Structure 1
Amino acid sequence: MHEKLRIHHAVGSRVFFDSDREGVGFDVRQDGDTWQFTVQSPRTPACEQVLEFKDELNVFIFREENGQSAEKVWFYAGHGDVTYDDALQQLRIVTHGRITYNPADF
C-alpha cells in the first residue's frame, strides 16, 4: 500500500504540499486525541506556504492499492500548531481530529 501526504488550504482546498511531488518522506503518530506529522524536507517554498497558512490547513493521507484510491484520511489542523525545525530540516504539524473514508463509497 502506498501512502501520500497532502496539505491543503482549508479555504478553497489549494494544495500547498504533496509528499509525492516534493519527493519526501513523512511519519504520523497518534498521541492521545492528536496526530503528529513529521515531514523530512528542506525548507522549500511548499514548506513556507504551509507555515504561512498554518491556521487554515487540512491534512490528508491518501492510501492507494494497485494504483487505486483505497482510503482517504482527513485531519484537521486549524489551530496553527505547525513548526519548522531548521536544524533537523523537519516540518511538524499537530492535528486535532480526523475522518476516514473510502472514496469509492461516494
Structure 2
Amino acid sequence: MAEHERVLVKHAVTGRMLVNSKDGVAYTFDEEGGLTLITLTGVEAEKGAAVVELKAELNVFRFEEPEDGPVIKHWYYVGDNPVTYDADSNRLTIAVQSEIEYRPDQYWA
C-alpha cells in the first residue's frame, strides 16, 4: 500500500461507497492466473458482506495521488469474477480481469 494512494470499492448503480482504504484498510494487488487479486484487510463484516452481495455491480478504483504531479486513476473491471469475504480475518478479495488507467488532467483543463 503506497502512502499517496487509495483504493475505493463502490456500488456502480448508486455510487454508494462500500470500502475506502483511507478508513484503515490495507490492500495488496497480486497477479494470479490472468487475473489481478485485490486483497483488502481490515474490512468490517457489514461492509464485506455488502460487497459480496453487490459483486455483480462493483466499481473498484485505485487513485495515485503524488504530491508533485497529477492524479492517476485506475478502474478495475470485476465482471463475473470471484468476490469473497472472510469474516475471521476481515479480508475481502476481489478478482478483476482488466484495468483502465486514465489521467483527469488530460481531459479537463
Q: TM-score range by the shorter chain?
A: 0.7 to 0.9
Query: 1:79 is paired with a residue of what secondary structure?
Result: coil
Change (3 A) 1:67 1:25: farther
1:6-42 per-position Cα deviation (integer Å, ceiling 9, x unaligned) = 011122332211110x211111112353110111114
Query: Unpaired runs of 5+ in structure 2?
Result: none
Aligned match of 2:51 = 50
Aligned match of 1:9 = 11
Q: Percent identity?
A: 32
Query: Unpaired runs of 5+ in structure 1?
Result: none
1:81-101 per-position Cα deviation (integer Å, ceiling 9, x unaligned) = 111123332111101111001
**Length-normalised TM-score, structure 2:** 0.83
**Length-normalised TM-score, structure 1:** 0.85
Q: Distance in 1 between matches of 2:106 and 2:24?
A: 30
Query: 1:55 is paired with a residue of what secondary structure?
Result: helix
**Dislocated runs of 4+, deviation >4 Å:** none
Q: Distance in 1 between matches of 2:36 and 2:65?
A: 21
What value does the CA root-mean-square deviation take over the aligned residues? 2.0
Matched length: 105
Aligned match of 1:90 = 91
